[in-house]
Structure 1
Amino acid sequence: MAVHKQPQSMPMQTQMSNLPPSVQYLNSLDQVFVKQKIEMLEVLTGFETANRYAVLNKDMQQIYYVQEESSLCERCFFPLNRGFQLHMTDNNSQEIIRMSRDFKCCMGCCWCAGGFCQMVINVEAPVGILVGRIKTGNSKCQAHMQVYDAADNHMFTVWGPCCPCQAICCTDDIDFPITDPSLTQRVGNIAKVWRGVCTDMMTDADSFRVNFPADMSLNAKVLCIAATFMVDYYVFEQQRKNNNN
């Protein structure tokens, strides 16, 4: 079920914004779900297809749709390094947010996720206006990402576990806490939702739950949702590739 009227009023905040009403709908939310669509061609053949996602509210109503645009050659031969644009549209097919990442020859692991190997997702909302960036950072074994605003101020840090796996013996959701830069205050959470062993073994379509304070600024909520896509591409695309090998 899709939400077609997004929204008529935003009672949680009165901040001025140049974002369209469909994005300002996030003002009233403290949780969204990001569910990757199952691609049958990829299931049957292993061929890397462009990812598609639905963004849902807590009532499981679709509020946005996300479509990856990327090179067929890069998806086939450099799936982890590929550059892409993620086009987020509302239920009226209007593009409201664009997330883009450049192709990198080096796909940084935790040890070398900064510098030349650093992956960066630029977030525009609306298209053409930068609201921030998601960058990977160095660590010994944990996935480490940092969220920056348009002025390159460090807003949040996202840390993942050393072993982000789910299996029959490990069925819990996998948490990626969102903290302030000092790591002392937890301001939100990204969780990869456990969907069952059969689904996880047969498909690579992931599901995520994103939590943030209802009164968080609209731009910050947009960046937290964008960080979810960095988690998927940087952590779980790499994990699936390693499992396939």
Structure 2
Amino acid sequence: MHITDNTGMEVIRLQREFQCWKASCWCACSDCCAHTLTVEAPVGTTVGYVRQKCSVCQPIYAVQDYDHNELMTILGPCCVTGCSDIEFRVTSATDDQDIGEITKNIYLPILPMVNALTTADKFGVSFPRSLDIKQKATMIGACFLIDFMFFERPPAPREY
């Protein structure tokens, strides 16, 4: 994925290698099945990684720096469906303190036209203002990986 600024210049590149399994937490116990996202900012300079961790039920991700040191952990809910916002907690890897979250905002049923007019998803990413800019870019990458793994669905087959 290429993320550009308002002048069209690419400022962040996200790369994820193909994996056979999509949203299964226990498959991440094997290195060949765990999803890993590489974040480059600027393009050509790796600033961090988001790596799926082994879990029985709950989705867990490690946010790592360019040297694969774990900086943060993202903890998702066991069930990623529902009719309210879905929160993925972000904690510090050193002391398990909450430092932010990634939230999938669910459309309200009182606004049915919004769902009819768009297939866009709405996410929120929060983190400390003092967080290093490279780690902020990696957190944005984590948001896209979570969206891909849990909320994107293949297009419905066309009927003619």
Q: Identify whether the pair has TM-score above 0.5, normalized to the shorter chain.
A: yes
CA–CA separation in structure 1 for the residues paired with 2:65 and 2:86? 26
Tell me what 2:53 maps to.
137
Counterpart residue identity of residue 154, structure 1: E
Separation (CA, whole Å) in 2 of partners of 1:97 and 1:177: 23
| 1:223 alignment partner in structure 2 | 138
1:201 Cα deviation from its structure 2 partner: 8.0
Give the aligned residue type for 2:4: T
Distance in structure 2 (CA, Å) of the matches to 1:201 and 1:146: 35
Alpha-carbon separation, structure 2, partners of 1:146 and 1:163: 19
Higher helix share: 1
CA displacement 1:157-204 (0-9 Å, x = unmatched): 1011111113xxx3x211101111256201111001122244558864
Q: Which residue in 2 is equivalent to 1:175?
A: 87
Q: Is the 8 A contact 1:108 1:117 kept in 2?
A: no
The equivalent position to 1:120 in structure 2, one of 27, 31, 36, is 36
State the identity as a percent: 38
Q: How many residues align?
A: 151
Equivalent residues of 2:74, 2:89 under 8 A apart: yes
Q: Supply the RMSD in Å over aligned alpha carbons.
A: 2.0
Correspondence list, 1:74-153, <5 A = 86-107=1-22, 109-114=24-29, 115-153=31-69
After superposition, the C-alpha distances for 1:48-93 in whole angstroms (9 at most, x for unaligned) are xxxxxxxxxxxxxxxxxxxxxxxxxxxxxxxxxxxxxx10000000
More strand by share: 2
Q: Which letter maps to 2:92?
A: D
Amino acid at match of 1:179: T
1:223 Cα deviation (Å)? 1.0
Q: Is the 1:157–1:183 Cα contact (8 Å) retained in structure 2?
A: no
Q: Check whether the contact 1:134–1:226 (CA below 8 A) recurs between aligned residues.
A: yes
Q: Which residue in 2 is equivalent to 1:232?
A: 147
For residue 224 of structure 1, what is the amino acid of its counterpart?
M
1:193 aligns with 2:105: yes
What TM-score do you get using the length of structure 2 for normalisation?
A: 0.85
Which sections of structure 1, spanning at least 5 residues, go unmatched? 1-85
**In 2, Cα distance between the equivalents of 1:87 and 1:204?**
20
CA distance in 2, matches of 1:163, 1:106: 17
Q: TM-score normalised to the size of structure 1?
A: 0.57
* CA distance in structure 1 between the partners assigned to 2:20 and 2:149 by the alignment: 14
Measure how far apart 1:122 and its partner are: 0.5
Q: Which runs of 5+ in 2 are unaligned?
A: none
Between Structure 1 and Structure 2, whose CA radius of gyration is higher? Answer: 1
Q: In structure 2, how many angstroms separate the alpha carbons of the residues matched to 1:143 and 1:112? A: 11
